[in-house]
């Protein structure tokens, strides 16, 4: 068998979380597709998740393209669907090679291969751009895949794992297959369905957060693209594909202050017409207090900082390496720069109660971000924190590990009670926030009304928000008049895309 055609498929997993704000492309697959094409392969970039495709749709796509390899990707919550894609591909063509990558597979390859080795041929551990190409080259040559670093596979009734692959150092040199992207489906709903891209300006994380997967995946390393390369890509996306908004997929894009300030300066000098959404750390915002004006002038419109917890004790358990008071300072800096501020609180720990959750809501109000989300801790089975939480894990159904459905049972609450409290927490925070609408700048008022529309019509919080709107929540007349412009009608999945991405 000669391998020529590869389909890259995202699992059709949905939880009502990230898709509430927009439709997000898989930038990892854009990069991997570019590397595969550079090596001479024909690639189908198929974002079944963003297209809201069903299993019959996926079957037809595979049958029509007739790939020699089907590769998919998975975070923990989507692993069940990722394995189902591999099983489906094998049912269509028993000789097809199946490959699975990303965070969950990288760490849980032993469990996957012991249970699903009839469906999953190879697991790519770590970055895929080099490893997947080397694997296919090896298979085409009839060589032994044990020679390829960064793999795991089933052989002779046992799991074999090759040595860890080296991290890619020259990120500027990676080719990107932006032309394969079905651009019309990628939209940022909070900004009038603006065309949305995701880019990666760096890879890695130097932090030690005990509940997170990223510091483990990247082994607490960090590599960055050059500022000139990053800004040139944003210009290309704007000019060639009409991109208006780009989200930085990086965990810590601002880690190197000199590099980050150069990116901001280039965005300003070149007048790049792309607005930026990003995540960074509280202490980086505090460090950059003197250049927050540059953030805004460069087009940064939305910053997420992970507060995660309201007590120093919990922050220390999470190994956040920050102080509680710093979170308030960072959010104030973002707000004062007229940039949308967002944060989250990870709740549902064993000692949580309705009272501690209510206290966290009050703290969130005090911090005063534009948006705050109250998430159910998901105990990734490979995270540092997992041994402390394992006895409280109520389900091993990974599809529920989505930060919405509780999977840890606190000592003094049922899962159902915890779920209700998390929903009420979001409801109380946002209805409080909407009472302050007249104090915001005009563009933020418009943005927050868009957010309310998304919460009502597209998110997992729809029912809680509709109930709060009906009750009025003590809204002043001026605010009620503004909120009356928001219509709640379509329901959680009213935004499914009818589009069908063409075969290449």
* Chain segment 218-259, per-residue pLDDT in tens: 556 778 999 999 999 999 999 999 999 999 999 889 999 999
pLDDT tens digits, one per residue of 177-220: 999 999 999 999 888 899 999 999 998 766 655 455 555 655 56
CATH class for the domain made up of 5-159: alpha beta
Residue 206: other Cβ atoms inside 10 A:
13
Whether 44 has a pLDDT exceeding 70, the answer reads yes
Binned at pLDDT 50, 70 and 90, residue 321 comes out as: low
Which DSSP helix (H) or strand (E) runs through 270? helix 257-270
Supply the pLDDT for residue 149.
96
Residues of each domain in the chain carrying CATH 3.40.50.2300: 5-159
Q: What is residue 178's DSSP assignment? A: G
Q: Helices marked H in 117-213 — which ranges?
A: 131-140
- Per the model's pLDDT, the better-predicted residue between 390 and 264 turns out to be 264
CATH class for the domain made up of 180-436: alpha beta
pLDDT tens digits, one per residue of 405-451: 999 999 999 999 999 999 999 889 998 898 888 889 999 998 988 88
C-alpha R_g of the chain: 23
| Residue 22 exposed, middle or buried by CB count within 10 Å (0-12, 13-18, 19+) | buried
Q: How far apart are CA 146 and CA 259, in angstroms?
A: 39
Range in 3-12, 154-163, 205-214, 343-352 with the lowest mean pLDDT: 205-214
Number of H helices, E strands in the chain: 18, 16
User: Taking CA 430 as the corner, what is the angle to CA 297 and CA 459, rounded to the nearest 5 degrees?
Assistant: 90
Helix (H, G, I), strand (E, B) or coil at 5: strand
Range in 62-66, 142-146, 212-216 with the lowest mean pLDDT: 212-216
Whether 493 has a pLDDT exceeding 50, the answer reads no
| Alpha carbon 503 to its chain's center | 26
Q: Helices marked H in 39-98 — which ranges?
A: 55-65, 79-92
Query: How high does pLDDT run on average in the chain?
Result: 87
Residues of each domain in the chain carrying CATH 3.20.20.70: 180-436
Angle separating helix axes 227-241 and 257-270, nearest 10 degrees: 40
Q: How far apart are CA 10 and CA 101, in angstroms?
A: 11
| Ramachandran assignment for 156, one of left (phi > 0), alpha (psi -120 to 50 degrees), beta (any other) | left
pTM over 0.85: yes
> What are the angstrom distances between the C-alpha of 337 and each of 303, 435, 443, 473?
11, 21, 13, 29
């Amino acid at each position: 068998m000669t391998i020529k055609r590869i389909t890259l498929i995202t699992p059709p997993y949905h939880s009502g979380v990230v898709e509430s704000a927009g439709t997000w492309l898989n930038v990892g697959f854009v990069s991997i597709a570019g590397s595969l094409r550079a090596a001479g392969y024909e690639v189908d970039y198929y974002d079944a998740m963003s297209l809201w495709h069903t299993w019959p749709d996926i079957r037809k796509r595979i049958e029509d393209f007739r790939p020699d390899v089907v590769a998919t990707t998975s975070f923990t919550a989507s692993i069940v669907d990722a394995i189902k894609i591999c099983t489906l591909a094998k049912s269509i063509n028993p000789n097809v090679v199946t490959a699975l990558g990303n965070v969950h597979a990288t760490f849980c390859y032993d469990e996957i291969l012991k249970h699903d080795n009839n469906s999953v041929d190879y697991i790519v551990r770590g970055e895929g751009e080099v490893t997947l190409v080397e694997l296919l080259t090896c298979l085409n040559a009839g060589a032994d895949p044990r020679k390829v670093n960064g793999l795991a596979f089933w052989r002779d009734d046992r799991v074999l794992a090759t040595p860890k692959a080296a991290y890619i150092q020259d990120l500027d040199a990676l080719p990107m297959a932006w032309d394969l992207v079905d651009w019309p489906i990628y939209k940022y709903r909070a900004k009038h369905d603006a065309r949305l891209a995701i880019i990666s300006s760096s890879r890695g994380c130097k932090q030690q957060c005990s509940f997170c997967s990223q510091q483990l995946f990247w082994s607490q390393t960090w590599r960055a693209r050059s500022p000139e390369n990053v800004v040139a890509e944003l210009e290309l996306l704007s000019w060639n594909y009409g991109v208006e908004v780009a989200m930085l997929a990086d965990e810590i894009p601002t880690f190197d202050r000199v590099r980050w300030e150069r990116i901001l300066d280039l965005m300003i000098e070149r007048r790049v017409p792309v607005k930026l959404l990003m995540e960074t750390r509280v202490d980086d915002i505090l460090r950059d207090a003197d250049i927050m004006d540059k953030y805004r002038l460069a087009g940064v419109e939305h910053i997420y900082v992970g507060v995660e917890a309201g007590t120093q004790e919990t922050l220390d358990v999470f190994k956040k390496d920050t102080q509680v008071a710093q979170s308030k300072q960072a959010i104030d800096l973002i707000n004062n720069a007229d940039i949308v501020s967002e944060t989250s609180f990870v709740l549902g720990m064993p000692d949580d109660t309705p009272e501690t959750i209510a206290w966290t809501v009050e703290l969130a109000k005090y911090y005063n971000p534009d948006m705050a989300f109250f998430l159910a801790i998901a105990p990734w089975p490979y995270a540092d924190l997992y041994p402390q939480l394992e006895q409280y894990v109520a389900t091993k159904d990974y599809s529920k590990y989505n930060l919405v459905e509780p999977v840890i049972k606190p000592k003094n609450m049922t899962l159902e009670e915890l779920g209700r409290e998390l929903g009420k927490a979001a409801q109380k925070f946002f209805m409080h926030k909407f009472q302050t609408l007249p104090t915001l700048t005009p563009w933020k008022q418009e943005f927050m009304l868009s957010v309310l529309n998304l919460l009502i019509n597209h998110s997992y919080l729809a029912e809680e928000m509709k109930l709060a709107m009906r009750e009025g929540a003590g809204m002043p007349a001026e605010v009620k008049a503004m909120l009356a412009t928001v219509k709640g009608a379509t329901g959680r999945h009213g935004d499914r895309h009818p589009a069908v991405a063409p075969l290449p």
